[in-house]
Amino acid sequence: MRRKLVIGNWKMNGSRAANAELLSGIVSGLKDVNDRADCAVCVPAPYLAQCQQELNATPVAWGGQDLSIHASGAYTGEVAASMLVDFGASYVLVGHSERRAYHGETSELVAQKAVVALAAGLIPVICVGETLADREAGNTEAVICAQLQAALEAIPADRLAQVVLAYEPVWAIGTGKTATPQMAQQAHHFLRGCVAQKSADVADKMRILYGGSMKPDNAGELLAQADIDGGLIGGAALKAADFLAIIHA
């Protein structure tokens, strides 16, 4: 049985005051669910220190939203894996569709980021997903397979078990349009099959999260699907009550 995992992706949102309220709301509402699910928030880099302070010794883990492939040096604006680790991060998102779309990140670069994250002891959450045009052209599986393939080729087999995957159809992110549970299940099942070509055992254990307008009112049905092992939550992760409702689902 794979343990469910719910990750909040704050994107570029937050302030020290708002975060303090949100984090304490999440922690105080969690309590008993921790036996059944893992939970984390991926925050803008300046707020990692605040997470470390407020979430230390709680069941809520934290992480970054991106990282550099370089260890240190003349890379203005970038954040190294060791810096995330220095602030107690456990997770890092790689290849979010917003990084791919606005920063031109290729699947090869995303794969390299996952390798660097793993080497530093971080759990990379590798995001894949098709655009509406891809889906309408019947290319969903080809697109998400190609995005994943680069990572499968780059990551050594003995490290693959630490990876988390996230299926995030681009047309569903922040739009209020959610993939139906059947559509999402089909994509997750397909992705698990791609991983199984490298290792059936790892595929069986790998957690594949759904992301794209997951909300309290649709989370239950999505999370009930056989291959949906949790959620990567954007908008609904910014309100403690909504985020908790999804975790409880």
Q: Which two tokens stand for residue 4?
A: 């469910």
Q: Is residue 212 a contact residue for ligand PGA (CB under 6 A)?
A: yes
Only one of the segments 106-114, 116-124, 196-204, 209-217 lies at the binding site for ligand PGA (rule: CB under 6 A); that segment is: 209-217
Q: x-or-dash pattern for ligand PGA, window 162-201, by CB under 6 A?
A: ------x----xx---------------------------
Q: Which two tokens stand for residue 187?
A: 């994509």
Q: Is residue 233 a contact residue for ligand PGA (CB under 6 A)?
A: yes
Neighbouring residues of 81: CB distance < 8 A, sequence distance ≥ 6: 67, 68, 71, 92, 116, 117, 119, 120, 122
Q: How far is the CB of 36 from ligand PGA (least distance, A)?
A: 22
Only one of the segments 59-67, 135-143, 154-162, 234-242 lies at the binding site for ligand PGA (rule: CB under 6 A); that segment is: 234-242
Catalytic residue among 54, 105, 130, 168: 168
The closest alpha carbon to 41, from 13, 17, 67, belongs to 13
Residue nearest to ligand PGA as judged by C-beta position: 234
Among 155, 187, 232, 249, binds ligand PGA (CB under 6 A): 232
168 catalytic residue (yes or no): yes
Catalytic residue among 96, 105, 130, 188: 96
The closest alpha carbon to 39, from 67, 83, 11, 3, belongs to 3
Neighbouring residues of 110: CB distance < 8 A, sequence distance ≥ 6: 94, 95, 99, 100, 126, 147, 150, 151
Rounded Cα distance, 97 and 130, in Å: 9
Q: Is residue 129 a contact residue for ligand PGA (CB under 6 A)?
A: no
Rounded Cα distance, 40 and 130, in Å: 25
Rounded Cα distance, 52 and 55, in Å: 6
Q: How far is the CB of 96 from ligand PGA (least distance, A)?
A: 6
Query: For ligand PGA, which is the closer residue by CB, 168 or 227?
Result: 168
Total binding residues for ligand PGA by CB under 6 A? 13
SS3 211: strand
State the residues that interact with ligand PGA by CB under 6 A: 9, 168, 173-174, 211-214, 232-236
